[in-house]
Amino acid sequence: MYADFFVFFVSLCPFSVPIPKQVSEQISDIAYELHRLSTLTGKSFVRQLELITQYKGFIPIEGESSIFHIGMEQDKDYQSLIDAARKAVDQGYSVYILPNPRNCRTADFIFKKKSSYTMYDLKTVSGKGSVGTQLLDSIGQSNRVLLNITSDYNARLLAADIRTYFESNRQAVEVLLFKGKKTISVNRYAVQSPLFHKQFRKKYEK
């Protein structure tokens, strides 16, 4: 069953470079479990995240603390993933980088802190291009998005982009921002406040 799903999975989502046979087998084993996430909600979803992090194919990344992966040196976005993962570790998380073949609707990370498990799709903001487009692109991958901001993106525009994302995606739960050593979490309740723009800009520009 896993093997059949993996053949279908890879045919839709070709890897950017050839991957070793052992890594292919490991991803084959975990691919079905990742796929199951789309059918689960609530406690069942969180339990599935926990089960995925316990998969034996995850190994620590050499030279890093609390970051685990499955052959992700092959990924073209490897450095962006590591940069964001390091910031999450600084916030007390253990980070699991998920197999994420290009052109697939899959998330990038599972964050673990004590008994809490959350899954995020990573969007790196490195220029002045529209963050709104990146947020909308994440729909279908995860209901939580991590924005790793490495440029001086306008706070007013960013607040508007985040509000539009929540308005466009009824399943959205959180947008988490890493900006330098600063962490900002925005949920649906926050964006519904008439004071959201003012409060967000105060945190962002602080």
pLDDT of residue 22: 54
CATH ID of 2-205, from 3.50.50.60, 3.40.1350.120, 3.30.1330.10, 3.40.30.10:
3.40.1350.120
pLDDT in tens, 51-61: 999 998 899 99
**Cβ atoms 173, 146 nearer than 8 A:** no
pLDDT of residue 14: 42
pLDDT in tens, 16-41: 444 454 555 556 678 888 888 889 99
Indicate whether 72 pLDDT > 80.
no
Q: pTM (2 decimals)?
A: 0.85
Q: Tell me how crowded residue 152 is: count the other CB atoms within 10 A of its CB.
A: 10
Backbone angles phi, psi at 59, to 5 degrees: -130, 150
Chain-centre distance for alpha carbon 91: 15
Q: Regarding predicted confidence, which is higher, 77 or 29?
A: 77
Percent of the chain whose pLDDT exceeds 70: 82
First to last CA, the chain: 52
Q: Provide the mean pLDDT of the chain.
A: 85
Pick from 20, 187, 84: which is nearest to 96 by CA?
A: 84
pLDDT in tens, 117-139: 999 999 999 987 789 999 999 99
Average pLDDT on 165-186 reads 96
Residue 166 corresponds to which tokens in the numbers above? 């929540």
pLDDT of residue 27: 64
Spell out the domain ranges in the chain: 2-205
